[in-house]
Amino acid sequence: MNKTKNISQNIAGPLIIIAVLFFVIGFGVGISGFLTPFLKDALHLTVTQSYLVTAAIFSAFVVFGSPAGWVIKKAGYKKSIVLALLVMAVGMLLFVPSANSASFPVFLAALFVGGIGNTLLQAAVNPYVTIIGAHESAAMRMCLMGIMNKLAWWLGPVFLGLFLDLKNVQLNQVSLPFFIVTGILVALSVFIYFAPLPEVKAAGEDETAGEPAENLYATGKTSVFQMPHLLLGVLALFFYVGVETLPMASIIGFAKSVFGESVANPAGYAKYVPIGMFVGYVFGVIMIPKIISQTNALRLFTVIGLLASLSVIFLPGEIGIYALIAVGFANSIMWGAIWPLAIADLGKFTKTGASLLVMGIVGGAVIPLIFGFILDSLKTNELPTVTDYQHAYWTFIPAYLFILYFSTLGHKIRKY
């Protein structure tokens, strides 16, 4: 079992601080997530430029993933979180000149800089939440953070409605919300800097402290790439983020194919998947680890994901589209359950391993891209049919099968 050291028996205070962090970040993501598509439309992007937008968002996780681990090793978790928030604030601030000048390059720069900040934040916060308490309840803590994040995410558009006409957003009106979010991020960074947030270390992370031999799996290892369960965890997170992103990115188009282009408010279907995830988070908080272990929960939810995906594929579209709610439910605890299994026993490589895991987020760009390629290759008309979507949704199956393998066998592999 993965133990921690130098940690107070009472972790409620640090977890509340991190929960506030997740809430504010979700709030900022909700606002930028609402305004970013509007900016894309206002800039009259071509199809190629739209792909550049996706590349700018996710390439930061690959480019800065490894350096993020170095930063955290040098600065520690707390200072890295502060730095990440300030970098994200710069990214938010860059949206203002991109809107004022309708500049696509500045828009890309804003997305990339924000992505760098998010990479560092993810690489710091996720292992922190994982190792600050008992290993077996790490997924429960992650689910709690997910609840805070999603609640704030839904509040973003509500907040925007105080300043903008959301049905008729004007380009010259978007500066104020981004200024406000920038100010919130800077204020949060100051709060975190002065907050009583203790540094934590995973078992065996400091070999000079005389860890018991059984906790020193990483002793004598010279590279993080000698940890097969970590590398399999990176792949598991790659597939997970892909299948988490895919239903949210595709459900509106699927709804149009099922109910016709004349369907009223197709965007309303976009809320179904996050609702499923939110319910899953609540399940994780209540059930893990009291009723079910995080490892068994990961296996159970992966099977639910497989069954829900097959329902989307084989049931009539009018019914199958609602199975995407179950897909969202299945995805909810996977992030939080994969992390503790992947960074277990890394010892001195914990921070480096976390930075590799964050690089797996690029799956959120790759898997939907594969889905889109399959969909485009299948369609015979200008618009894809229900059957075309259902065939493309087979993309879910190998992803969930790999996560199931990791949850049953892959995370146990150790190389001595």
What pLDDT, on a 0 to 100 scale, did the predictor assign at position 43? 75
Query: Where is the domain boundary, 197, 229, 252?
Result: 197
Contact residues for 382 (Cβ-Cβ < 8 A; gap 6+): none
333 with 388, same domain: the answer is yes
Length of the chain: 416
Look at residues 164, 197, 230 and tell me which one is the last residue of a structural domain: 197
| CA-only gyration radius of the chain, Å | 21
Per-residue pLDDT, averaged over 291-318, amounts to: 96
For residues 241 and 355, membership in a common domain is answered with yes
pTM: 0.86
User: Is 215 within the bounds of a domain?
Assistant: no
Assess if residue 209 is contained within a domain: no
* DSSP run (H or E) holding 202: strand 201-202
Tokens representing residue 141 in the block: 């803590």
When pLDDT is averaged across residues 33-53 and rounded to a whole number, the result is 69
The two structure tokens encoding residue 318: 């009018």
Same-domain status, 168 and 237 = no
Same structural domain, 359 and 405: yes
Q: Which of 163, 197, 231 is the last residue before a domain boundary?
A: 197
Helix and strand totals (H; E) in the chain: 16, 2
Average pLDDT of 146-156?
Answer: 83
Report the alpha-carbon distance of residue 117 to residue 358 in Å, rounded.
12
Answer for the pair 63, 92: CB distance below 8 angstroms, yes or no. Answer: no
Question: What is each CA distance from 41 to 111, 153, 159, in whole angstroms?
Answer: 16, 22, 21
Would you say residue 372 lies in a domain? yes
* 166 lies in the same domain as 292: no
pLDDT band, very low/low/confident/very high, at 416 (cuts 50, 70, 90): low
pLDDT value of position 51: 63
185 and 280, same domain (yes or no) = no
Number of other CB atoms surrounding residue 311 within 10 Å = 17
Q: Which of 36, 48, 71, 133 minimizes the C-alpha distance to 358?
A: 71
* CA separation for the pair 90, 72 (Å, rounded): 20
Clarify whether residues 112 and 54 are in a common domain: yes
Q: What are the start-end ranges of the H helices in 262-316?
A: 272-287, 294-314
pLDDT tens string 387-412? 999 999 999 999 999 999 999 999 99
CB half-sphere exposure, 31, CA atoms < 13 A: 26
Domain that includes residue 46, residue range: 9-197
User: Is there a single domain that holds both residue 132 and residue 252?
Assistant: no
Token couple for 19:
């929960």
- Does 288 fall in a domain? yes
Rounded to whole angstroms, how far apart are CA atoms 156 and 28?
7
Residue 243 and residue 388 in one domain: yes
Cα–Cα dist 340/106, whole Å: 37
| Residue 117 pLDDT greater than 80, yes or no | yes
Q: What is the mean pLDDT of residues 335-358?
A: 90
What's the CATH number where 53 sits? 1.20.1250.20
Q: Is residue 374 part of a domain?
A: yes
Residue pair 123/280 in contact (Cβ under 8 Å)? The answer is no
> Which two three-digit tokens encode residue 33?
């997530």
* Measured distance CA(302)–CA(325) in Å, rounded: 14
Q: Is residue 11 classed as helix, strand or coil in its secondary structure?
A: coil
Total of domains in the chain = 2
Residue 81 in any domain: the answer is: yes
Q: Render pLDDT for 98-107 as a digit per residue (tens, 0 to 9).
A: 878 878 888 8
User: By the 8 A CB rule, do 367 and 243 touch?
Assistant: yes
- Going 117 to 118 to 119 to 123, the CA torsion angle's sign is positive
Q: Please indicate, yes or no, whether residues 176 and 228 belong to a single structural domain of this protein.
A: no
- Residue-wise pLDDT for 124-138, tens only, equals 998 899 888 888 899
Q: Give the least confident one: 161-170, 269-278, 319-328, 371-380.
A: 161-170
Question: Is 246 part of any domain?
Answer: yes
pLDDT at res. 260? 82
Are 327 and 247 within 8 A, CB to CB? yes
Asked whether residue 94 falls in the same domain as residue 21, the answer is yes
Closest by Cα among 243, 314, 217 to 3 = 217
Q: Has residue 36 got a pLDDT over 80? A: no
- Residue located via tokens 């130098």: 6
pLDDT computed for residue 205 by the predictor: 66
Tell me the two tokens of residue 288: 């893990």
| Residue 204 confidence class, pLDDT cut points 50, 70, 90 | low
Task: Work out the end-to-end distance of the chain between its first and last CA atoms, rounded to an integer number of angstroms.
Answer: 18
Residue 212 domain-assigned (yes or no): no
Clarify whether residues 193 and 226 are in a common domain: no
Residue 209: pLDDT band by 50, 70, 90 thresholds?
very low
- The string of pLDDT tens digits covering residues 219-260 is 777 888 888 999 999 999 999 999 998 998 888 889 888 888
Residue with tokens 């921690």: 4
Mean pLDDT of 57-67: 87
CB 186 within 8 A of CB 83: no
- Give the residues across from 202 on adjacent strands: 4
Can you tell me the mean pLDDT for 153-160?
78
HSE (side-chain half, CA atoms, 13 Å) at 89: 18
